[in-house]
């Protein structure tokens, strides 16, 4: 199934198994069955963060033991089509940029389609794209064509990333109007946790499949494709939408003018958001928060090693003077540091998003920018003093807020623009992530190379960068400060809202759900336990493996 064919089915009034009508929950459905479905989706696509585990073996795909170097004058274009020499790691890492560019583009292009056809159909398309992209990449690796791998996982997989990322957002917000931040935090926590599970599993599979003539990545990709397809399909088929007008038992919406002034009960159409100032302010808020965090996340390991050198293993030796055994030892410590940051990135998604239900989204982002700016500005001093505890603590808190920013922003959008089309609006906002995925790493890498070119010691090349990142957070703070409630003129009138709901077939679906018990049978206690076990057991295993790695940092 493609996006085009799915859309065609929607336009012709398709009422099949994947249609929106079939996802409306009947009486007695337990809303706590929806978060594990969302987690199943995000834990799979979150492996995008863990693809770095493939770079080293893929850089030896021909040579197996040692890389077969390409001609010195061969550029990136030549590497895309060569079959006679091994790819450079720098060429393989271009996958990250492609991932997040197409994540943002696909979420923006098809977010409105998702709202009309419902999360189940979009989730199935996401599963086909993400798993299918891995299969295509496996074929590209087998024939040693980098462009095929970029097309498979980067482009097609990137579309799956975008649709899979936003498919549960509006669903969860509608099921948890009383705890929007917590609900989206649970799902988006899974995106951060995907690499925590996928990276150690990939390492084990690569070792298992490696032979004298293969580095083992091709069969690993195929195994991942099968596993992810099953889990993502399970998540997609587990999505349910509440009937129109449903509310949690005992909860009533706050009266207009009371409580959080930023939270509206009205709805903005996605077609209007490009012209609304608040949308662009939130866009800048997300872009600045992500730009600062994603650059650091990608450089955390070399940064720690170059700043502290031999002090990481209790030896007073600069990084450039370390021997091969010492370099291997501090690389293990740095791997533990990276795993620690990833853990804070994951936990921060749930912690900060849940806290935003109490503090409000605007105040939560204000904390991100003020506290984050102070922590970034403190890093040169802690690095200069050789204070590893202060250095690591600052980055742990920063990465928790980086993850928290992703998890809090869907609820921020729902507060400002309403819930009717929040998934589509969130999709358009994710173009900020696409830009940040380029901006953050470019700033970090450019400034590092520039400082090295000036002859600065490696332990000092990140100092100016930290101040630049602090400046990004200052910009984000100002944009967040300027966000006000959306003006009345941007909201849909009752007639326009009714027309949009008719277009999305929600009225008929709600009536059908009210007349039947669809979904009630799946709300048993056993189903709830099995659903949470399906995502909880892999998470627990990934956490256990991460804690083993983190132990190297503290030992």
Q: What is the pLDDT of residue 261?
A: 63
One domain, residues 152 and 282: no
Instruction: Tell me how far apart the alpha carbons of residues 219 and 205 are, in angstroms, rounded to a whole number.
Output: 8
Question: In this structure, is residue 6 part of a structural domain?
Answer: no
One domain, residues 233 and 271: no
One domain, residues 218 and 285: no
- Domain final position from 426, 456, 483: 483
Question: In this structure, is residue 299 part of a structural domain?
Answer: yes
One domain, residues 46 and 95: yes
* Token code pair at residue 524: 């048993």
Q: Provide the residue range defining the domain that includes 413.
A: 260-483
One domain, residues 297 and 175: no
Question: In this structure, is residue 457 part of a structural domain?
Answer: yes
- Domain final position from 432, 466, 483: 483
One domain, residues 144 and 271: no
Q: Which CATH number goes with the domain that contains 401?
A: 1.20.1250.20
One domain, residues 539 and 419: no
pLDDT digits (tens, 9 = 90+) for 130-176: 999 999 999 999 999 999 999 999 999 999 999 999 998 889 998 99
Question: In this structure, is residue 153 part of a structural domain?
Answer: yes
Return contacts of 318-327, CB within 8 angstroms, 24+ apart.
318/457, 318/458, 318/459, 319/458, 319/459, 320/458
One domain, residues 232 and 368: no
**Which parts of 181-340 are beta strand (E)?**
none
Question: In this structure, is residue 183 part of a structural domain?
Answer: yes
The burial of 94, by beta-carbon neighbours within 10 Å (0-12 exposed, 13-18 middle, 19 or more buried), is given as middle
For the chain, give the percent of residues with pLDDT over 70.
Answer: 92
Q: What is the pLDDT of residue 446?
A: 81
Question: In this structure, is residue 199 part of a structural domain?
Answer: yes
Question: In this structure, is residue 1 part of a structural domain?
Answer: no
One domain, residues 269 and 235: no
pLDDT digits (tens, 9 = 90+) for 333-372: 888 888 898 899 999 999 999 999 999 999 999 999 999 9
Q: Which alpha helices (DSSP H) does 64-179 contain, by range?
A: 76-81, 89-92, 94-117, 119-142, 146-149, 157-166, 169-175
One domain, residues 350 and 398: yes
Nearest partner of 21 among 379, 429, 509, judged by Cα:
509
One domain, residues 149 and 286: no
One domain, residues 171 and 304: no
Report pTM. 0.86
Q: What is the count of structural domains for the chain? A: 2
pLDDT digits (tens, 9 = 90+) for 23-55: 888 888 899 999 999 999 999 999 998 888 898
Question: In this structure, is residue 103 part of a structural domain?
Answer: yes
């Amino acid at each position: 199934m493609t996006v085009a064919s799915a859309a065609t089915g929607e336009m012709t009034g398709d009422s099949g198994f994947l249609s929106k009508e079939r996802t409306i929950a009947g009486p007695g459905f337990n809303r706590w069955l929806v978060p594990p479905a969302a987690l199943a989706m995000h834990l799979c696509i979150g492996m995008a963060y863990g693809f770095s585990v493939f770079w080293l073996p893929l850089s030896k795909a021909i040579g197996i033991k040692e890389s077969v170097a390409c001609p010195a004058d061969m550029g990136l274009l030549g590497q895309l089509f060569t079959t006679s020499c091994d790819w450079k790691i720098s060429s393989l890492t271009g996958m990250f940029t492609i991932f997040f560019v197409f994540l943002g583009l696909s979420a923006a292009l098809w977010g409105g389609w998702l709202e009309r056809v419902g999360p189940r159909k979009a989730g199935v398309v996401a599963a086909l794209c993400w798993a299918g992209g891995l299969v295509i990449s496996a074929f590209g690796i087998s024939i040693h064509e980098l462009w095929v791998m970029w097309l498979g996982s980067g482009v097609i997989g990137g579309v799956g990333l975008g649709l899979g990322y936003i498919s549960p957002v509006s669903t969860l917000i509608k099921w948890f109007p009383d705890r929007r931040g917590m609900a989206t935090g649970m799902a988006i926590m899974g995106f951060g946790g995907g690499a925590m599970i996928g990276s150690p599993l990939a390492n084990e599979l690569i070792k298992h499949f490696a032979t004298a003539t293969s580095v083992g990545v091709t069969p690993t990709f195929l195994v991942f494709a099968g596993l992810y397809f099953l889990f993502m399909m399970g998540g997609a088929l587990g999505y349910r939408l509440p009937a129109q007008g449903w509310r949690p038992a005992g909860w009533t919406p706050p009266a207009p003018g009371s409580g959080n002034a930023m939270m509206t009960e009205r709805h903005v159409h996605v077609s209007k958001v490009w012209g609304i100032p608040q949308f662009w302010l939130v866009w800048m808020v997300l872009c600045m928060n992500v730009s600062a965090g994603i650059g650091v996340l990608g450089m955390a390991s070399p940064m720690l090693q170059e700043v502290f050198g031999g002090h990481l293993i209790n030896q007073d030796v600069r990084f450039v003077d370390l021997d091969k055994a010492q370099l291997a030892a501090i690389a293990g410590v740095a791997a533990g540091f990276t795993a620690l940051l990833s853990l804070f990135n994951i936990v921060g998604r749930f912690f900060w998003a849940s806290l935003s239900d109490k503090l409000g989204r605007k105040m939560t982002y204000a904390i991100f920018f003020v506290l984050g700016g102070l922590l970034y500005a403190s890093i040169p001093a802690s690095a200069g003093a050789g204070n590893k505890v202060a250095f690591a603590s600052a980055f742990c808190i920063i990465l928790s807020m980086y993850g928290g920013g992703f998890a809090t922003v869907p609820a921020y959008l729902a507060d400002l623009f309403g819930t009717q089309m929040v998934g589509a609006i969130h999709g358009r906002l994710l173009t900020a992530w696409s830009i940040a995925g380029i901006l953050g790493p470019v700033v970090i890498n450019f400034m590092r190379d520039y400082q090295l070119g000036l002859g600065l010691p490696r332990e000092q090349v990140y100092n100016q960068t930290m101040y630049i990142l602090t400046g990004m957070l200052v910009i984000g703070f100002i944009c967040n400060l300027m966000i006000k409630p959306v003006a009345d003129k941007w909201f849909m009138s009752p007639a326009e809202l009714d027309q949009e709901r008719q277009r999305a077939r929600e009225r008929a679906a709600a009536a059908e759900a009210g007349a039947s018990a669809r979904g009630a049978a799946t709300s048993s206690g056993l189903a709830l336990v099995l659903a949470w076990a399906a995502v909880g057991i892999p998470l627990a295993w990934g956490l256990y493996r991460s804690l083993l790695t983190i132990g190297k940092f503290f030992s």
